[in-house]
Structure formats: structure tokens, C-alpha cells
Structure 1
Amino acid sequence: MVDQVYQVSANGTKAFVRLDGTPWARDSWFWHWHGLIPGSVYAVYSSQGWGPHTQRHDVLYIGSDDSGHGVMEVIDARTCAAAHRHLGRFTTTSR
């Protein structure tokens, strides 16, 4: 899920994302993809590597400069929020 978009350039977009519902965000670079929307979920081809701007070794690269953007599917933020509300109706806690 995209948490925050923090830079857009001609070659792509930098964003903080959370993977598989984890509570922490990580730095990512979406090659040749623009219009990321916080709260949306993206199914992607990805790899991990060195981030020259952040000086981190665990930047998540979505797609590549050669192969393209790497985004296979998008579930928009509005649909994600509606699903979260719907699932909340069925969640109970036992004590």
C-alpha cells in the first residue's frame, strides 16, 4: 500500500510503501509510473537494491528502467477503504 508520495520526476515516482500489511513503511522507486495515490494497493514486479539518494541498501524498486513500470494491477484507495470498513463489521474480539 502506498503511504506517501514524496517526489515525482520524468523517470518515475518515489514513495513510502508498506508491504503485506506490515506496520512500517519503506522507501520505493516506481520506474516510469506517475499518479501514485496514497491508500491504494499496487500489485507489482519488484526488486531490492541500493538507493543512491537515500544511501540505503533496501530500496524497493518497482519495475526497471529497461523493462518498464512493473505495475500489474491497482486497487484504488476508495475501494480499499470500503473493504476495510466492510471487514470491520465482521471483526469481533473475545475476552
Structure 2
Amino acid sequence: MYVRLRRWWASGSPLWQRLVVCGTVTVTAYGAAQVATILNGHELLTFGLIAVAFVALSVGAFSLGMARARGEHIYSPRWYRKFQQEAHARAEGSPQ
């Protein structure tokens, strides 16, 4: 599973999918840390889960920063890019 995820991530997956993965890991790990705290879990477990959430948040922020530096937009699904191109073409072609 980890190898497949790494291959998918490295193969140029769309930015919005990478951000969804990072957000999901962040929220899940932070929520698990909160549950561990409420249930009087071991401190090492709690801090480990918080560290996982922080790393996932950092990876997402870094991915977003690098994508913006390359000029990639958050809305990168192909259907949305195609929709934007068609909308721009219609706007340029219509007389005002």
C-alpha cells in the first residue's frame, strides 16, 4: 500500500488529490491524538500522532507552495481545466 501511494505521489498526481491526502492524514492523526488524550493514552502516542499531523500539514503546505511557484493551480482536474479553457474561449469570442 505504501509503495503504491509513493508511486502515485511521485508520478505527478493532481495537486488537489495530493492536498486531499495531506488534509485527510492531518485531520485523522490530530483527531486520534485528541482521542488518545481524552482516554488517558500514553504521552508518547499522543505526541507521535501530533507529529504525524504536523508532518502531513507541512507536506501539504510545501506541495502547495511548490505548485504555486510552478504556476500550477489548485483546481487541476482535467475536466475543470477544460471547462476554464472553454469559458475563456467563449468570453474572448463573444462581441460586447
Question: TM class by shorter-chain length?
Answer: under 0.3
Question: Which protein, 1 or 2, shows the higher relative CO under an 8 Å CA cutoff with sep ≥ 6?
Answer: 2
TM (norm. structure 1) is 0.26
Structure showing greater radius of gyration is 2
Q: Which is strand-richer, 1 or 2?
A: 1
TM-score between the two structures when normalised by the length of structure 2: 0.26
